[in-house]
Amino acid sequence: MSSAAEVPAPARFRFEDSSLAIKLRQNVGLVTAIALFCVIYLLYHVAHPKGFSSAVLVQNGDEIFTLAMVAMAQTVPVLAAGLDLSVGALMTMVGCFASYLLSGAPEGTPINLDLGGLHLVLATLPGGTTGLIVGMILCLVIGTLAGLLNGCVVVFGRIQPIIATLATGAIYIGIALFLRPQPGGKIDDDLNWAMTNSLGDFASTVHIFNDGAAPWFAPLAWIPVPFVLIILIAALVWVPFRRSVTGRAVYAVGSAEGAAYMSGLPIERAKIAAFTLGGFFAGCGGLFLAIQTSSGNADLPQAGAYTLNSIASVVIGGTSLLGGSGGAIGSIFGAMILRVISFFFRIFDIAPLLQPLFEGIILLAAVSIGALRMLRVRNTLELFR
Amino acid sequence: MVAPTGEDFLVLAGISKRYGGVRALENVDFACARGKIHAVLGENGAGKSTLIKIAAGVVQPDAGHMRLDGNAVSFASPSAANAAGVVCIFQELSLLPDLSVADNISIAAPPRRFGLIDAKAQRRRAEALLTEIGCEDVNPLLRVRDLPLSRRQMVEIAKALGQRPRLLILDEATSALTSADVERVYTMLARLKAEGVAILYISHRMHEVEALADRASVFRNGRHIETFEKGARSTAEIVQLMIGRDIATQYPSKPRRPRPQPALRIENLSWEKRLDQISIDVGAGEIVGLGGLDGQGQKTLLFALFGVLRGVTGTVSVNGRPVRPGSPAGAKAPGVGIALVPEDRKTEGLMLPMSIADNLAIASLDALSNGPFVNRVKERRAVEGGISRLQIKVGDKNDAVSTLSGGNQQKVVIAKWLMTQPRIVLLNDPTRGIDVGTKQELYRLMRELADQGAAILFYSTDYDELIGCCDRVAIMYDGRIVRELEGAELTETNIVASSLNIDAASSAAAPARVAAHV
């Protein structure tokens, strides 16, 4: 490795030594997930009678968005070697809040608190677009605060993440049930239409770019809004976080907590930040689900399914459950892979009952790739560390 | 950095530290100066590590104070020490395996742009620091996990250098390096010294200490014995200072008889770069010690014999029959009959939340079962046999094993393995951290086992123990057996001299081979 005495080899370019090759090797999980997604999504469009159309893309985007967000939410605590069992519940709770806050009533939305005999008017959201924007921000703040609570319970309560979030998740579902004992509520129709269709529909609804008729805008009009949102959130929230000192500390904590401490990193801040950011992402998912379904629904089985699928997405996306390696981009692709598999069931008209079976097989195959490195371990005791 | 050389930089006064009942440092006064390389010497457990951990803010002293550059300081954490300019290169690497070399080097204070980590600047910084220590060949984009141990150590050094230390502490920092890298580290240290940095240097390699240090301090049993300038003491005198005088422990008498037939025969055993052509026999009824400094391959050898390591070459035979266990399960199988009492009883020896009885029976369940079911009667008899044989002090055998004292926990580990009726017993530092009384019981037990025909290979960091218990002692250095001591040769002076490989070190530039911990 360090035999300097050897005659230096002629400076010949070798791909396996290049920066690109190193990056590819280090992100083999992400690359595999992207490749797998591209293949199956292409097959899906080929097999679909209306494949490669904006309508199909829009429909897919709507179905993918929430799981992609919840998967991102799960990724951050997993990177810090924790597991967040509350992501589905948190998403559901935010959705229930949204079903109150985003009615878009022109006279404004009062925020009341009725507890037994107590009746409090806390504030009134203004009507119209301003009210909707404030309402959406409020929903995201609620999600973020719930994530912050998770982080504080884990760090200051010194409770293992898996049990701490099991408890807080039950609390969030409880709040959701309190808010929406039955499915209901209302979301502003324009908001629903603008967020769940193509960019062209968005522009015409909110009256920008000459109602979407601007010539330069035409080539972009087919792009579904949910995909744009995923890219925006990833680029504006995840990428800067990953490049921040706190983000780095999250990876460090998951990789080797002792070494992170010895390097003087802010371990507690990193853990709290991981759960808080997870809360924000899950809040985005809950907000979108409410907008998409135009209602709030404290659906317990659905919350559980989202939590489990988020873990599956994280693993398929190449993030190690042991922490320290991977990232939220991979999880987005993991979520998309899971969803596209279910799309196939529709076009091939296979019994939906078989879906869990196939999803399970694909999950196993994805996880097995990660286990291959175990074959190279020379000191078998290291397998258990 | 312009600073007067020779002026005291770090001063410790009256520092004491205990871990439970064990005294690690006792009323230590110590100082190290700017622009000097100060070696800290002592046997295993002399208190060197505790000293540097206190200076680096990893542990806090129970008593005494510390002054840095004339000001009273106390470090609550490693980052507080770093902020004051005290940087430590630890023996156990403090690198993050999943992050890249560049990330690791700048982990504490990465270069930032618009508040975010500037990956390009960070990479340039890593390249500059790696060049400074002559490691241009390390690509800063690689993950630390993918580097060999020797390169990781150099990354660790680059990381420390990047923090612009005023006091640099090296704890066995060269143990994992190649000889070319050791040269580079020497050059770097010389430059830092010229810049007025105070350097504390802990090394077990006497020739390194002789080559580098301006000043040396000897520690023994948690006390600071003496500090002297370069050349004031001969190697023999230093060894004598390190040994000192200790209260004699009672050891069972050794039988006098010709060397028995080998029960365990090891020939040319090698693994990775940690074990190098090891050959040794252990006779039935014999206790053979493994000596030498910590981390010279002794534990690795025991692991290799116990089937934990993959890719071991060479032959091992038990009673003349070659064996090659592929796992601990294979090693303890009746045809082979090897038992290993591991070093870390908390992680490798016991299942702490499980009961004493469960822990005792766990290794011999095959013999205690009828088909798939454990025979309760046989199990109880065996467990009670184990408890009485080692005189384990238990309240109830169904209590969690974590409720026992350290000494009794260790007895459980040993009893558990004796219940498998082993022919070969491997002991990995079994008396570490247990009280004198229990130690003496264990010595008696070892001799008893040997008298009943077991072959015992016994690694200990306590030289006194090796002399008292063993029929023969093999000294390891850099993954090799450098010397076998027997009979009258078996003295502490000989052990220490061989451990430091003093005879061999002077001849040729012995390649510093990778021989760190498993």
Task: Determine, yes or no, domain membership for B1.
Answer: no
The answer to whether the beta carbons of residues A37 and A336 sit under 8 Å apart is yes
Do residues B39 and B152 both lie within one domain?
yes
DSSP string, B203-264: -S-HHHHHHH-SEEEEEETTEEEEEEETTSS-HHHHHHHHH---PPPP-PPPP--PPPPEEE
- A chain contacts of residue B139, beta-carbon cutoff 8 Å: 17, 22
CA B284, chain centre distance (Å): 28
**For B188-203, b where at least 16 C-beta lie within 10 A, e where not — what string?**
bbeebbeebbbbbbbb
Measured CA to CA, the distance from residue B91 to residue B100 in angstroms comes to 20
Task: Determine, yes or no, domain membership for B172.
Answer: yes
Beta-carbon separation of A263 and B178 below 8 A? no
Between chain A and chain B, the number of residue pairs with CB atoms below 8 A apart is 100
The answer to whether the beta carbons of residues B490 and B484 sit under 8 Å apart is no
The pLDDT, as a whole number, for residue B241 is 83
Do residues B128 and B157 both lie within one domain?
yes
Every domain of chain A and the residues it spans: 33-363
What would the two tokens of residue A99 be?
């079903």
Asked if residue B350 has pLDDT above 70, the reply is yes
Asked if residue B331 has pLDDT above 50, the reply is yes
Give pLDDT tens digits for A88-130.
Answer: 999 999 999 999 999 888 777 777 777 666 777 777 778 788 8
A42: left (phi over 0), alpha (psi -120 to 50) or beta: alpha
Asked if residue A373 has pLDDT above 80, the reply is no
The pLDDT, as a whole number, for residue B463 is 83
Give pLDDT tens digits for B360-404.
Answer: 998 888 888 888 888 889 999 999 999 998 888 888 888 888 888
The pLDDT, as a whole number, for residue A7 is 47
Interface of A with B (CB under 8 A): 1-4, 17, 19, 22-23, 26, 240, 243-245, 248, 251-252, 254-256, 259-265, 324-325, 377-381
Measured CA to CA, the distance from residue A93 to residue B76 in angstroms comes to 41
Find the residue in A nearest to B82 (Cα).
A264
**Among candidate residues B421, B441, B464, the one where a domain is terminated:** B421
Measured CA to CA, the distance from residue B314 to residue B266 in angstroms comes to 8
CA distance B326 to chain A (A): 10
**For B433-459, b where at least 16 C-beta lie within 10 A, e where not — what string?**
ebeeebbbebbebbbebbeeebbbbbb
Confidence band of B22 (pLDDT split at 50, 70, 90): low
Do residues B205 and B118 both lie within one domain?
yes
Measured CA to CA, the distance from residue A297 to residue B328 in angstroms comes to 54
Q: Residue B187 — φ and ψ, nearest 5°?
A: -60, -45
Beta-carbon separation of A380 and B309 below 8 A? yes
Closest Cα to residue A321, out of A282, A362, A359, A371?
A: A371
Confidence band of B242 (pLDDT split at 50, 70, 90): confident
With vertex at residue A146, the alpha carbon angle to CA A144 and CA A148, rounded to the nearest 5 degrees, is 70
Asked if residue B509 has pLDDT above 60, the reply is no
Asked if residue B518 has pLDDT above 50, the reply is no
The pLDDT, as a whole number, for residue B6 is 64
The pLDDT, as a whole number, for residue B511 is 40
- Count: domains in chain B: 3
Task: Determine, yes or no, domain membership for B125.
Answer: yes
Beta-carbon separation of B110 and A254 below 8 A? no
Residue range(s) defining the domain that contains residue B276: 249-337+422-518
Neighbours of A53 (CB within 10 A): 13
Please give the residue that has the higher pLDDT: either B306 or B293: B306
Asked if residue B455 has pLDDT above 50, the reply is yes
The pLDDT, as a whole number, for residue B508 is 37
CA distance A150 to chain B (A): 25
Asked if residue B513 has pLDDT above 70, the reply is no
> Which numeric CATH code is attached to A33-363?
1.10.3470
The pLDDT, as a whole number, for residue B459 is 94
CA distance B425 to chain A (A): 19
Residue type at B422 in one-letter notation: P
- B chain contacts of residue A375, beta-carbon cutoff 8 Å: none
Beta-carbon separation of B96 and A2 below 8 A? no
Beta-carbon separation of B117 and A2 below 8 A? no
Q: Could you tell me if B94 lies within 8 Å of chain A, comparing CB atoms? A: yes
The answer to whether the beta carbons of residues A252 and A263 sit under 8 Å apart is yes
Q: Could you tell me if B270 lies within 8 Å of chain A, comparing CB atoms? A: no
Q: What integer is the mean pLDDT of A308-316?
A: 92
Measured CA to CA, the distance from residue B425 to residue B302 in angstroms comes to 10
Give pLDDT tens digits for A132-155.
Answer: 999 999 999 999 999 999 999 999
CA distance A271 to chain B (A): 16
Beta-carbon separation of A378 and B82 below 8 A? no
Comparing A356-360, B50-54, B86-90, B96-100, which segment has the lowest mean pLDDT? A356-360
What would the two tokens of residue A139 be?
């929903």
Asked if residue A23 has pLDDT above 90, the reply is no
Task: Determine, yes or no, domain membership for B145.
Answer: yes
What would the two tokens of residue B53 be?
């951990």
Confidence band of A276 (pLDDT split at 50, 70, 90): very high
Q: What is the ipTM of this complex?
A: 0.74
The pLDDT, as a whole number, for residue A92 is 97
The pLDDT, as a whole number, for residue A277 is 97
Q: What integer is the mean pLDDT of B468-482?
A: 92
Asked if residue B514 has pLDDT above 60, the reply is no
For the ranges A75-84, A182-191, B484-493, B501-510, the one whose mean pLDDT is highest: A75-84
The answer to whether the beta carbons of residues B4 and B34 sit under 8 Å apart is yes
CA distance B40 to chain A (A): 22
- Which residue of A1, A2, A265 is the best one to mutate when testing the B interface, meaning the one whose CB has the most B CBs within 10 A? A2
Do residues B164 and B253 both lie within one domain?
no
Query: To the nearest whole number, what is the mean pLDDT of chain B?
Result: 85
**Among candidate residues B376, B391, B421, the one where a domain is terminated:** B421
Do residues B170 and B43 both lie within one domain?
yes
CA distance A325 to chain B (A): 6
Burial class (CB in 10 A: 0-12, 13-18, 19+), A35: exposed
At B507, which CATH number? 3.40.50.300
Task: Determine, yes or no, domain membership for B508.
Answer: yes
Query: To the nearest whole number, what is the mean pLDDT of chain A?
Result: 88
Q: What integer is the mean pLDDT of A242-252?
A: 90
- Measured between CB atoms, which of B99, B139, B518 is closest to A252? B99
The pLDDT, as a whole number, for residue B510 is 38
Q: Could you tell me if B517 lies within 8 Å of chain A, comparing CB atoms? A: no
Adjacent-strand bridge partners of B280: B266
Q: What integer is the mean pLDDT of B308-319?
A: 92
Beta-carbon separation of B95 and A244 below 8 A? no
Beta-carbon separation of A378 and B272 below 8 A? yes
SS3 A292: helix
The H or E element that residue B291 is part of is strand B287-291
Largest CA distance in chain B: 78
Please give the residue that has the higher pLDDT: either A68 or B247: A68
Q: What integer is the mean pLDDT of A68-79?
A: 97
Give pLDDT tens digits for B157-175.
Answer: 999 999 899 999 998 777 6
Q: Could you tell me if B108 lies within 8 Å of chain A, comparing CB atoms? A: yes
